[in-house]
A and B are shown apart, each in its own frame.
Chain A
Amino acid sequence: MLNQTHPVVRGTVYGTLLNEKKALAALGEQVHVAPYKAPPQAPVLYIKPRNTWVSEGANVTVPLDASALEIGATLGVVIGRTASHVSVADALSHVAGYLVVNDISVPHASYYRPSMRFKCRDGFCPIGSVVVPREAIANPDDLKVSVAIDGVLVHTASTSGRVRSVAQLLADVTEFMTLHPGDVISIGVAAGAPLAKAGQRVTVAIEGVGTLENTLVAEDLV
């Protein structure tokens, strides 16, 4: 039976593309030529629909047409009160807290089209069940993020070095769309996101926020 709900999410789960300076820099001169033609100006968001939501411990199916999946460790910002046209200074007061998100993708080279087939498979968004209250995180823009596969550390990053800080992201996004209590917006995946294969156990950890562990399984075993 598909998990249609999540203990924390009450609204929509948004992700943010290329919000790490290193991840954007990795595109290099490509951003100036077709199909992109220019670097991104406004926040580039996408939606992780409800069929992608799973909780701690759930198995995530690796589709038959993918040899490995990209593990997108990221900080999820849980909205606590309705946010429309918020200022940078006031943005964080709309945040209920933070949780761990694993924004999984089938690896894809082009960001030109929305790529639902790569980002919206069932189970492709494990979300932690524990919301750490905003007050417990002194600075959401300076937290260590790590990924371990079968217990071995394979990737480390930080919530720092972002194109937009959490507060700036909320300000720029709520200029054109309202965020509602129970929505989750993640700050985006860092450069060099690791790959994992069926049979492997993936653990995402964010300093002060928690850990999120899921196992990848092959499609034909489900």
Chain B
Amino acid sequence: MKRARVAYGGAIHEAYPHADGVCLADGRVVSEEAVVWLAPFEVGTIIALGLNYADHVKELSKELTVTAQDEPLAFLKAPSSVIGHRAQTRRPDGVGFMHYECELAVVIGRTAKQVKRKDAMAYVAGYTVANDYAIRDYLENYYRPNLRVKNRDGGTVLGPWLVDAADVPNPHDLNLRTYVNGVVTQQGSTQDLISDIPALIEYLSGFMTLQAGDVILTGTPDGVVNVNVGDEVVTEIDGIGRLVNTLVSDAAFGR
């Protein structure tokens, strides 16, 4: 099953795919443009992975101070950075390198503490698509990637659908890609995750209790390029969803 959360007619609704747009839980069918798309679940703790595809590590290796790592590079983002499908993200004037990151987002379904790898997939509620924006101009080497790079308003795009785990027989064999203005700029497969989903759940739940609504953004493959004001960025994962975002300028935010 695929579920979205949308705002329509003055309330928030659960919604489902429909040939003519989306079908609200109350039966109304409305167009995709008529609703405001929210993140498809109530977002708890957001854990993001860096450097979790070997090709992306190679892509970044020239600017990394330290490349070898003995554990996953995990960092946190706040729910206040989250926006949904078909929303806008601000690109500040004067920055040189802002890029998208297409990522498989793994949504936790129940409390997970010190879970072993073999049991880990039972704790997954479902999946959605994430676009985990970064502005490299703001990178500093303290708790890198620092929040000014990663935790900006509108910097975490999630949606459109939460797809039940039962409907994704192999989350480690999904093709993902990004289009900028209709042109493919990034391609990869979740086959190439360095730490796969059970490894991440085992690692994280080994030191922190994960709860329903927590989400793991599993990292991005190579092919990140600069995007500009006015660009339409579509991050897509086969079987999971096609997530649309548009970049806007400071002027749109009255700056």
Contacts and interface: CB of A to CB of B under 8 A. Distances in A.
A34 interface: yes
B2 interface: no
Contacts of A117: 71, 207
Contact of B78 (A34, A42, A47): A47
Interface in B61-80: 65-66, 71, 73-80
Nearest to B64: A35
B148 interface: yes
Interface stretch (B12-20, B139-147, B188-196): B139-147
Contacts of A38: 140-141
B45 A111 contact: no
Interface residues of A, number: 42
Interface string B27-67: 00000000000000000110100000000000000000110
Interface string A15-49: 00110000000000000001111101111111101
Interface residues of B, number: 37
A50 B80 CA distance: 14
A49 B144 CA distance: 17
A37 B208 CA distance: 31
A45 B140 CA distance: 11
Contacts of B77: 47
Contacts of A37: 65, 141
Interface in A44-103: 44-47, 49-52, 63, 84-85
Given A85-B255, A116-B208, A177 B80 contact: yes
B111 interface: yes
B181 interface: no
Contact of A47 (B65, B76, B111, B255): B76
Interface in B56-112: 65-66, 71, 73-81, 111
Contacts of B73: 113-114
Nearest to B142: A44
B45 A50 contact: yes
Nearest to B44: A50
Residue of A46, A115, A183 with most partner-chain B CB within 10 A: A46
Nearest to A115: B143
A34 B64 CA distance: 10
Contacts of B153: 84, 176-178
Interface string B115-155: 00000000000000000000000101111111110011100
Given A112-B65, A180-B80, A41 B111 contact: no
Contacts of B111: 2
A114 B144 contact: yes
A120 B147 contact: no
B226 interface: no
Nearest to B138: A42
Contacts of A183: 80
A42 B142 CA distance: 10
Contact of A45 (B147, B208, B211): B147
Contacts of A141: none
A12 interface: yes
Nearest to A37: B141
Interface in A99-126: 111-117, 120-122
Given A35-B66, A51-B208, A113 B144 contact: yes
B76 A116 contact: yes
B196 to A, nearest CB: 19
Contacts of B140: 38, 40-42, 44
Given A42-B140, A45-B146, A176-B148, A120 B65 contact: no
A12 B79 contact: yes
User: Which of B71, B77, B78, B153 has the largest count of A CB atoms less than 10 A from its CB?
Assistant: B78
Nearest to A49: B45
A208 interface: no
A49 B208 contact: yes
A11 interface: yes
5 contacts: A2-B211, A36-B141, A47-B78, A47-B147, A51-B211
Interface of B: 44-45, 47, 65-66, 71, 73-81, 111, 113, 138, 140-148, 151-153, 204, 207-211, 255
Across the A-B interface, the 8 shortest Cβ-Cβ residue pairs: A35-B65, A47-B76, A114-B75, A49-B45, A12-B78, A45-B147, A44-B142, A114-B143
